[in-house]
């Protein structure tokens, strides 16, 4: 049994940012895919703004806008749009994503996807609405939809499948490292192309790269009999060492990466010197919080609080064990967090996209948690980028003129907060 981690569940919102946002990295990762979202103008507005879509670009995602007529029909009509997408973009697979309104309308998405699916271009339903998913979790839904298309590997095919989307440079780094250690690789889920999905079977070792993929990992065990590795996630020198040593052990390879870890820490000393003794508060939203907190703690920072939308005792067991003594909170109450920030005066707050700027307006040094999701922070190759995301915010703040009580900055910013977050930082 995994150790019983101590954490508090509060009454804050679970879904801090819409699940549709994962389209932003997944459409780039699966290069022959198309993402169609059945939604409203709100969803279109969100995607257009968060992904910075240029009008001349031809992104491989779109919103099928719900019309008034859809409210009275049995199913929204999307056949013409699917035909147009196939004609214009030639995708190998189309993901049909749900959103809040059609889910409230009880649109039967499975049936809708099947009605427009063909053997040549499957249309796969992906539950992703802001009602049920925090944004990184919808990658989990996309990967679950892909499982039936992964070839069945025979029991004696013992290779690793890396689980989670990373960019090509980071994927190359993982392939290189695996080959250096003599670990056979079956591939990545997701792969760069729909027809390159890795074979998965009872001999497969699943190595999770992202902490928000608990459901797909579980499904790979149930459906294919694969073994899901329990380790740290490969973030930071400490995480990478544990990840690769544990993975090697699955292949009966005894590997000692202590020198490699020490060299990696030495390379980022300039950053860790800055982080040492700093009080860090993770208030955030991405589900990356547990490994991020474990890494900055190992780098010498004091973690005042690590809040995250959701903790899975089994999937996060190794990270939780290393966060013993840290205040861990699931579904944190934001009002309480504001009071804690005012009382404890952290040197750095990792916060979500909605609250980071108002916190900065109140003199708190804050960083968007979202940036960690969109940055190449995995593996040995990602260590410098990872630590720089923490220290850049501190350095930038040190260079700024104090905002003081400048009313221009403060007017209308987080109206409920001025009494409880004193402007003490210079
Ligand atoms: S799916 Fe829901 S939360 Fe997401 S943009 Fe659409 S309406 Fe908003």
pLDDT at 106: 85
Residue nearest atom 6 of ligand 1, based on CA coordinates: 43
Do 121 and 94 meet the contact criterion of CB atoms below 8 Å apart? yes
**What is the distance between the alpha carbons of residues 336 and 357, in angstroms, rounded to a whole number?**
18
**What is the distance between the alpha carbons of residues 147 and 199, in angstroms, rounded to a whole number?**
10
pLDDT at 278: 97
Tokens representing residue 70 in the block: 């859809």
> Which CATH number does the domain 19-133 belong to among 3.30.360.10, 3.40.50.1980, 3.40.50.450, 3.30.70.870?
3.40.50.1980
**What is the distance between the alpha carbons of residues 270 and 254, in angstroms, rounded to a whole number?**
32
CA of 89 to the centre of ligand 1 (A): 25
pLDDT at 414: 60
Do 228 and 251 meet the contact criterion of CB atoms below 8 Å apart? no
| Backbone region of residue 235 per phi and psi (left: phi > 0; alpha: psi in -120 to 50; beta: other values) | beta
For the chain, residues with pLDDT lower than 70 are 1-5, 13-16, 52-57, 71-72, 74, 400-426
- In the structure, which protein residues have their CB atom closer than 6 angstroms to any atom of ligand 1? 18, 20, 39-40, 42-43, 46, 99-100, 129-130
> Which CATH number does the domain 267-424 belong to among 1.20.990.10, 3.40.80.10, 3.40.50.1980, 3.90.380.10?
3.40.50.1980
pLDDT at 423: 42
CA of 302 to the centre of ligand 1 (A): 36
Q: Where are the alpha helices (DSSP H) in 117-184?
A: 137-146, 168-181
User: Sheet containing 366-368: which strands, arranged edge to edge?
Assistant: 8-9, 327-330, 302-308, 279-282, 348-351, 366-368
Do 326 and 222 meet the contact criterion of CB atoms below 8 Å apart? no
**What is the distance between the alpha carbons of residues 257 and 252, in angstroms, rounded to a whole number?**
15
Q: Which residues pair with 8 in a beta bridge?
A: 329
CA of 46 to the centre of ligand 1 (A): 8
CATH 3.30.70.1290 correct for 160-250: no
pLDDT at 421: 56
Q: Kindly tell me the number of DSSP H helices and DSSP E strands found in the chain.
A: 19, 14
Residues of the chain with CATH 3.40.50.1980: 19-133, 160-250, 267-424
Beta-strand relationship, 227-228 and 279-282: unpaired
Query: 150 among the known binding-site residues?
Result: no
Residue nearest atom 1 of ligand 1, based on CA coordinates: 99
Residue nearest atom 5 of ligand 1, based on CA coordinates: 43
**What is the distance between the alpha carbons of residues 316 and 6, in angstroms, rounded to a whole number?**
12
Tokens representing residue 371 in the block: 């940036």
pLDDT at 46: 83
pLDDT at 426: 42
CA of 419 to the centre of ligand 1 (A): 32
Tokens representing residue 120 in the block: 């040549």
């Amino acid at each position: 049994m995994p150790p019983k981690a101590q954490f508090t569940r509060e009454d804050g919102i679970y879904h801090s940012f819409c699940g549709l946002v994962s389209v932003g990295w997944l459409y780039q990762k699966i290069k022959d895919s198309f993402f169609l979202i059945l939604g409203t103008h709100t969803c279109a507005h969100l995607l257009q703004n968060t992904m910075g879509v240029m009008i001349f670009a031809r992104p491989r995602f779109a919103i099928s806008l719900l019309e008034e007529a859809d409210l009275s029909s049995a199913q929204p009509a999307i056949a013409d749009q699917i035909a147009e997408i196939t004609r214009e973009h030639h995708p190998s697979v189309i993901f049909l994503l749900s959103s809040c309104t059609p889910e409230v309308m009880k649109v039967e998405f499975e049936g809708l996807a099947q009605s427009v699916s063909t053997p040549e271009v499957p249309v796969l339903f992906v539950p992703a609405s802001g009602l049920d998913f925090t944004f990184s979790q919808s990658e989990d839904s996309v990967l679950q939809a892909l499982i039936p298309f992964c070839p069945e590997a025979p029991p004696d095919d013992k290779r690793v499948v890396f689980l989670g989307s990373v960019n090509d440079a980071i994927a190359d780094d993982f392939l290189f490292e695996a080959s250096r250690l003599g670990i056979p690789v079956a591939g990545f889920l997701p792969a760069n192309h729909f027809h390159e999905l890795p074979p998965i079977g009872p001999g497969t070792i699943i190595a999770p790269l992202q902490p928000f993929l608990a459901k797909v990992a579980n499904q790979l065990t149930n459906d294919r009999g694969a073994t899901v590795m329990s380790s740290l996630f490969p973030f930071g020198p400490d995480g990478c060492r544990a990840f690769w040593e544990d993975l090697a052990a699955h292949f009966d390879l005894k590997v000692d990466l202590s020198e490699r870890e020490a060299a990696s820490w030495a390379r980022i000393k300039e950053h860790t010197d800055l982080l040492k003794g700093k009080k860090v508060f993770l208030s955030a939203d991405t589900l990356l919080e547990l490994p991020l907190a474990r890494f900055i703690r190992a780098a010498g920072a004091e973690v005042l609080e690590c809040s995250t939308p959701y903790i899975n005792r089994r999937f996060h067991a190794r990270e939780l064990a290393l966060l013993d003594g840290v205040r861990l909170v699931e579904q944190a109450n934001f009002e309480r967090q504001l009071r804690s920030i005012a009382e404890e005066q952290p040197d750095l707050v990792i916060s979500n996209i909605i609250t980071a700027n108002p916190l900065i307006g109140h003199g708190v040094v804050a960083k968007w948690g979202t940036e960690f999701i969109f940055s190449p922070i995995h593996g040995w190759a990602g260590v410098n980028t990872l630590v720089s995301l923490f220290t850049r915010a501190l350095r930038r703040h040190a260079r700024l003129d104090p905002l003081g009580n400048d009313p221009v900055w403060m007017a209308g910013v987080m109206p409920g907060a001025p009494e409880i977050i004193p402007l003490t930082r210079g």
